[in-house]
Structure 1
Amino acid sequence: MAADVKGEGEGRAARGLFVATISTGSFLLFLVQPMVARMALPRLGGAPNVWNSAMLVYQALLLAGYAYAHMLGRLSLRRQTIVHLALLLLAGSTLPVGLFDLVQPKGLPEALWVPVLLGLSVGPVFFAVSAQAPLMQRWFAADPGAGQPWALYAASNLGSFAGLLAYPLLAEPLLTLRSQSIAWSCGFALLISLVILCAASRRHALPPPPSQKQLWGQGVRIPGRTMALWLALAAIPSGLMLSTTTHLTTDIFAMPLLWVIPLGLYLLSFVVAFADNRAPAAAIAFVTPVVVLFAGSYAMLSNGSGTLWIAGGACLMLFCIATTLHKRLYDLRPAPAQLTRFYLVMSAGGALGGLFTALVAPLVFDWAWEHPLLVMAAAVIMPLDPILRWRSGEGIEPGMARVALLLLLAFAAFLGWQLDQRALRPDEGLAAVLLTVFLTGTGIMVMAWRTAFVTVLALAMVAQGGIWTIRATLGGERTRSYFGIYTVRDTADGALRTLAHGTTLHGEQSLDPVRSREALTYYGPTSGVALALNAVPHLEGAAARIGVVGLGTGSLACRAVPGQRWTFFEIDPVILQFSTSERFTFLRDCTPGARVILGDARLKLTDMPAGVFDVLVIDAFSSDAIPVHLLTKEALQVYARALTPRGLLLLHISNRYLDLAPVVGTNAAASGMTALSRLDRPIDTALYTPSRWIALSRDGSVVKDLARISADTPWTPLNDRAARPWTDDHASILPFVRWDRLTGRP
């Protein structure tokens, strides 16, 4: 009895050791990705195609790590230990983590250069750590008496979730990038120590006896159809996680750090689905069809009328779908001997889902069509356990069941027609919700027929604003690039043409030829930028050289006066196309000789000679996302270098969810610049939008003269201060989030 108790105690201790090792490895993985991304911002710029390339590197390294773990499993445990520890030590020789000092070869495109740079910078340690989860599970299962290893994968994703939260909440706000790198290196040393202890705990492990080899799964062939199903069950949640982020930030609720929520829920779904306690996963799988019917009806909504509740429903749906499909993946798991093969295929599925959403969809679709498509795919593949079993109930003939099904589908079509009439009308909100509830109930009643279930879901999507989305696509109103989804639309009365990026208006132009040169929205006559540009002839002379970072519709071009030389910086060729194709004519009508430079403005300005501009306007924010690398102290120094000693810098910091004034105030003080603020609340809100502009100069007399010239519309000193300046080495948006606006309070 004493020996049994001792054995159980040792087993629990070994299990705890393996859980700690796997969790530590996953925690480190989810810390190093955003850390390297922050390191690369000043050097590579903030273009999304850069981060798409980075994600390809991470996914490729993760897949390679899983393949390495699978191949290593063919060796004896002793040889596995020697090889893996040697790999960890070799990878550790590249620490601390930092960008590799390599100059980009001439002619090598960014699409190839970025993967090479990131691969050299973080590739060795990322590859070594990525193999931890499957390899440690295999080592754990090397002892036939240790129990099933699958719950350790739940621990792996719990570690990933902890790392995901730790970076934006702790590491980024509290530590500089240098300190983060050193702390990560210490974590890597801890991981090596834990791996050594895990190997020591299995030094006497024996292979399973011949009588258990079949149960263990050795020599068992896995059908290709099963592996294809593994692939699909892993790919759909992975793609849906990314598509949910795109859909929410584009059309529903573009709040800061929103990307953390879908990714966190995706990771937590593994924790539930792979846990030893099967009850929570089973309960979630039971209610998932209902959640998909209700929340999935909003998957084609794209008119910017979303609310926090709809965003919450989309996140709930993601978690339910991911948990349900991952539960089915768990139910289809092989015997322990095939563990690394299982995780290799699952990793490949996750990579395929990510590739479809991050790379293929922006090239193929004009809107986030991948989101409703993935919801539909989940409805096709998820297990359906009918809540109402009337199809197979006693006394119900098949013919009667089919007639009832047709009647229910007809009723669903009627409900969809009614919903379409009310979905986008604010005064019909309650009626729309009730119709959605009835449609959900109809879908529940036909769950016994998968085709009918999917049909009701499609009807709900189309009716819940989907018609509007389809018409926008057929009308050619939208254009998509790696930088965003843009909608160009004329107002119902034909008076204005607008450019929107998701839920954020980026500019508009009057279609009245008499007023077509008027700068509207954030650039109205009382806005800070209008006041400053009107004062430029007095401040800088008649031949001022003016640079504008962020083209948009080109509204600012019509603030130009004869004799000035204008240069625009624009990161997205699609935005430039709107002006060159004359969908917006500001550029053609007002500054036909202006130069437009494509690329990340900070990098382009760094390459230009000093003192090339008299005025520099920074208006480069996309939706409510903040390109941090354009607001750091080093960025301010880049702008100051590009300006003459008396040059004027104008920053547009209007934002719904972030108060950026303290950041600019502190950075300006640290850079020796004098700053004034102009908060504009225009009277005519039909044409002009409230805005906040900051004017800065190294020569204090310039901003004083600006204030004097604009005395009728006063500027105020920028007294807002942050605790510390934003730098390339340390910046966090958390202290500046307007939490009351996120919760909907005034």
Structure 2
Amino acid sequence: MEGGVDASPHVARGLFVVAILSGSFLLFLVQPMVARMALPKLGGAPAVWNSAMLVYQALLLGGYAYAHWLGRVPPRMQAAIHLGVLAVAALWLPIGLFAMDLPANAEPAFWVPWLFGASIGPLFFAISAQAPLLQRWYSAATGGRDPYALYAASNIGSFGGLLAYPLVVEPLLALKGQSLLWTSGYALVFVLVAACATLLPRKAAETPHIVHHSPPAGARRVAHWILLAFVPSGLMLATTTFLTTDIVAVPMLWVLPLGLYLLSFSVAFLNDRSLPDVLTKFVPVTLLLFGATLIAGHQALAYVNALIGLLLLFLVSVALHGRMYALRPAPDRLTGFYLAMSVGGALGGVFSGLLAPVLFDWTYEYPLLILAAGALVPQAFLLPAIGRLWSGAAQVYRIKVLAVALAVSVVVLVGIANPGGVLGEMHEQIAFLLVAIIGLLAIGRRVPFLIALAGGLFIFGGYRSIQMSIADARTRSYFGVYTVTETDSERRLAHGTTLHGIQLLGARSRLPTTYYVAGSGVGQAMLALPRLYGPGARVGVVGLGSGTLACYARPGQQWRFYEIDPAVVKLSRDSGPFTFLPQCLPGADIAIGDARLRLGEAPAASLDLLALDAFSSDAVPMHLMTSEAFDTYGRVLAPNGLLLVHISNRFLALSPVVAAAAEKGGWHAARLIYEPSALEKHDEASVSDWIALSRSLPTLIALTQGHPGWRTLTPRAGFTGWTDDYASVVPVMRAFNPSLAEE
């Protein structure tokens, strides 16, 4: 190789594989790491991760465009330019977020991308260009060998970085250690890129891919690439929203959809097509049988739904990315192909992360993307006999018969639904069987299949959702979807699949319900306020919800609510459907913004009681549960103040987290798991789990004495508490720790 370092093809391939894999590993290790660093500043809403993903996709698009542009210059000059870019980006090391305080009224949709871009933008941009750039260098260094197989190494590295973070890096290293680890990895990648550069030939004539010999892709082919990349990217963010809304907004769960999305590239770009072809064949069946599972909203099957959603995402991504691979251009057009792929990925992120929350009052993007996947995935008849059924001139007639049969089925099923518009269990089973039979017979013919798939999505969730949208029963914001339903006797507020408030109608409309009844931990604390702090007690509540707690307010008391989502305030104010605030605390003081930041601005010792009830669905804002957060609560509370923490959760056992923070911060703590009586259940009382904390032991005793059920909270042996610098959700997940089932 004239002008370059002599190396055998195997040595060159090994060096390029290691360099690409290492760069991709770093690229996707940084995503959950920086998101974790952002929690104390930005909170733990699912949309924070989606906004971060938009930044990553935009930077990835920029990196791919830069790699494509570098194809205009000889390889050695490319190497010099890229090593210079890597050196300049190194000025942002060690990696971390800018030290700045966001404004109290900061708009997350703007500040999250800005903060992420300013903090890691140059580093991410420089590393993101590596995969397409080094693949092109490999083709030049080996005399034109096909570089596409190296993309599998890139995505294996990406998947490894994502997997390593929650399983190895986060549990073992604090954030400072993680930052140093990443910095060391960056130095290694720089050396590996420089070593790859030494294998490049000096003469442009020896690089056949720089002078294009294959014809350029037409506009339709490029649009097809973009569309095939758009659907998996959008579906990945839609699946992420489901997981992080109903379980917990932490990197461990953020990385699962992204990791499977990346792994799909490694499978789809395999030289041996056996595995991707087999998986692709079953995608239409999977879409038909499970496409509506998530939108059906079965709360009792959250983990099953999560697994189905992840499986569906992976299979759809393999099928569509495999189709992209089948339509790939010659190696001399490689960077343009990856640029189109990046454009599609970015547009999918924009659709699910930015446009959908504005355009839709519910997560309609999910069924729309499922339909789009059904329109794009390759299809083949399941059996030869089915193919013969659709052959011949009468197939158009058969499509019409199918459409009519499905339409009649939908009308009949809707007609026999109960007056509330929700199909009964038996009717749903009949509908499922009918749609499945029609859909399975239609696989292999795209239009009939799409008709069956659309019918299934309509019956299982779509019909109910459209009804609620028409009735204006939903509100969607950056932080989630809120649904208000009403019967003759009550009005309910749900966030995601979790009930967040019930207001009884009529004469009992001021009565606290659900987790906030008089016998609950927070109810007992509210009733004890005059006894503990006199008539002028100062009360703070983190998390407004439907405003239920306002009906514990008494004349002379000072109350302030902290609520991050303006949409919730609209639901609970004078013009909203819930009237706890207008009836019980007109003109209530509501501070909008992240509660931890707003409490940090409050004067010291300015509250006597603080109630922490800020969960989004069942997702836990981790930054509100760290020892530093509890220090903030302790500063704003009077020396004899009370802190009430709501830890009711289907998926996480949070008492060890609170116990560890209490021990570290010098708090005394007691826990009450409240089981309502049959009469209270009639008044919509719920089982609730509250922990009361105070740095004054006499105050805690005064609250709990005479009330059976309170138990002293003790730290869990071997559990490491959460801090801003270190936290892992694995030890408190009930699914992973059977001993926590009854915790």
Q: Same fold (TM over 0.5)?
A: yes
Q: Does 1:440 align with 2:436?
A: yes
SS at match of 1:719: coil
Q: Does 1:640 align with 2:634?
A: yes
What is aligned with 1:348? 343
Distance in 2, Cα, partners of 1:417 & 1:394? 26
TM superposition shift of 1:487: 0.6
Residues 76, 202 of structure 2: 8 Å contact kept: no
What is aligned with 2:275? 280
Q: What pairs with 1:227-626 in structure 2 (closer than 5 Å)?
A: 227-247=222-242, 257-298=252-293, 300-302=295-297, 304=299, 306=301, 308-388=303-383, 393=388, 397-399=392-394, 401-413=395-407, 416=410, 428=425, 432-433=428-429, 435-491=431-487, 494-511=488-505, 513-580=506-573, 581-626=575-620
Distance in 2, Cα, partners of 1:415 & 1:187? 59
What is aligned with 1:98? 96
Distance in 1, Cα, partners of 2:108 & 2:91? 28
TM superposition shift of 1:396: 6.1
Distance in 2, Cα, partners of 1:178 & 1:514? 56
Residues 171, 728 of structure 2: 8 Å contact kept: yes
Residues 657, 741 of structure 1: 8 Å contact kept: no
TM superposition shift of 1:569: 0.6
Distance in 2, Cα, partners of 1:526 & 1:394? 66
TM superposition shift of 1:618: 0.7
Q: Does 1:694 align with 2:687?
A: no
When residues 610 and 157 of structure 1 are mapped into structure 2, their CA distance, relative to the original with a 3 A threshold, is same
Residues 81, 199 of structure 1: 8 Å contact kept: yes
Choose the corresponding residue for 1:125, options 114, 123, 130: 123
Distance in 2, Cα, partners of 1:595 & 1:165? 44
SS at match of 2:198: helix
Amino acid in structure 1 at the alignment position of 2:696: D
What is aligned with 1:220? 215
Amino acid in structure 1 at the alignment position of 2:546: T
TM superposition shift of 1:60: 2.0
SS at match of 1:155: helix
SS at match of 1:69: helix
SS at match of 2:282: helix
The farther-off stretch of 293-302 and 525-534 is 293-302
Structure 2 residue runs without a partner (length 5+): none
Distance in 1, Cα, partners of 2:647 & 2:324? 46
When residues 317 and 207 of structure 1 are mapped into structure 2, their CA distance, relative to the original with a 3 A threshold, is farther
Distance in 2, Cα, partners of 1:730 & 1:326? 36
Residues 255, 624 of structure 1: 8 Å contact kept: no
Choose the corresponding residue for 2:660, options 637, 657, 666: 666
When residues 412 and 572 of structure 1 are mapped into structure 2, their CA distance, relative to the original with a 3 A threshold, is same
SS at match of 1:739: coil
Distance in 1, Cα, partners of 2:200 & 2:701? 74
The farther-off stretch of 27-36 and 55-64 is 55-64
What is aligned with 2:137? 139
When residues 102 and 60 of structure 1 are mapped into structure 2, their CA distance, relative to the original with a 3 A threshold, is same
Residues 46, 600 of structure 1: 8 Å contact kept: no
What is aligned with 1:26? 24
SS at match of 1:328: helix
Amino acid in structure 2 at the alignment position of 1:530: G
Distance in 2, Cα, partners of 1:395 & 1:485? 42
Distance in 2, Cα, partners of 1:482 & 1:422? 33
When residues 509 and 428 of structure 1 are mapped into structure 2, their CA distance, relative to the original with a 3 A threshold, is closer
TM superposition shift of 1:701: 1.4
Q: Does 1:183 align with 2:177?
A: no
SS at match of 1:142: helix
Distance in 2, Cα, partners of 1:307 & 1:33? 26
* Cα deviation 1:573-623 (Å, max 9, x = unaligned): 111111112411111111114201100010011111111111111110111
Residues 303, 469 of structure 1: 8 Å contact kept: no
What is aligned with 1:36? 34
When residues 474 and 439 of structure 1 are mapped into structure 2, their CA distance, relative to the original with a 3 A threshold, is same
TM superposition shift of 1:58: 2.0
Distance in 2, Cα, partners of 1:337 & 1:107? 50
* Cα deviation 1:178-216 (Å, max 9, x = unaligned): 00000111111111121122222334787458xx779x8
SS at match of 2:507: coil
TM superposition shift of 1:11: 1.7
TM superposition shift of 1:275: 1.1
Distance in 2, Cα, partners of 1:569 & 1:106? 12
Distance in 2, Cα, partners of 1:655 & 1:276? 46
TM-score with structure 2 setting the length: 0.91
Distance in 2, Cα, partners of 1:207 & 1:743? 67
Aligned residues: percent identity?
47
TM superposition shift of 1:539: 1.1
Residues 11, 146 of structure 1: 8 Å contact kept: no
SS at match of 2:539: strand
When residues 47 and 306 of structure 1 are mapped into structure 2, their CA distance, relative to the original with a 3 A threshold, is closer
TM superposition shift of 1:124: 1.7
Amino acid in structure 1 at the alignment position of 2:464: W
TM superposition shift of 1:37: 1.8
Distance in 1, Cα, partners of 2:59 & 2:473? 39
Residues 546, 614 of structure 1: 8 Å contact kept: yes
Residues 652, 692 of structure 1: 8 Å contact kept: yes
Residues 640, 699 of structure 2: 8 Å contact kept: yes
TM superposition shift of 1:258: 4.1
The farther-off stretch of 178-187 and 419-428 is 419-428
When residues 560 and 270 of structure 1 are mapped into structure 2, their CA distance, relative to the original with a 3 A threshold, is same
Distance in 2, Cα, partners of 1:483 & 1:489? 19
Amino acid in structure 2 at the alignment position of 1:534: L
Residues 236, 258 of structure 2: 8 Å contact kept: yes
Distance in 1, Cα, partners of 2:107 & 2:255? 30
TM superposition shift of 1:145: 4.2
What is aligned with 2:700? 703
SS at match of 1:136: helix
* Cα deviation 1:435-460 (Å, max 9, x = unaligned): 53452332232334322211111111
* Cα deviation 1:644-680 (Å, max 9, x = unaligned): 1111111111111111111111111111111111111
When residues 147 and 293 of structure 1 are mapped into structure 2, their CA distance, relative to the original with a 3 A threshold, is same
Q: What pairs with 1:643-654 in structure 2 (closer than 5 Å)?
A: 643-654=637-648
Residues 676, 695 of structure 1: 8 Å contact kept: yes
The farther-off stretch of 633-642 and 419-428 is 419-428
What is aligned with 1:3? none
Q: What pairs with 1:3-22 in structure 2 (closer than 5 Å)?
A: 10-22=8-20
TM superposition shift of 1:52: 4.9
TM-score with structure 1 setting the length: 0.91
Q: CA RMSD in A?
A: 3.0
Amino acid in structure 2 at the alignment position of 1:637: D
SS at match of 1:453: helix
Structure 1 residue runs without a partner (length 5+): 1-6
TM superposition shift of 1:468: 1.7
What is aligned with 2:721? 725
* Cα deviation 1:236-271 (Å, max 9, x = unaligned): 1100111123345558x7797544332222111111
Residues 46, 244 of structure 2: 8 Å contact kept: no
When residues 603 and 130 of structure 1 are mapped into structure 2, their CA distance, relative to the original with a 3 A threshold, is same
Distance in 1, Cα, partners of 2:619 & 2:390? 59
TM superposition shift of 1:119: 2.5
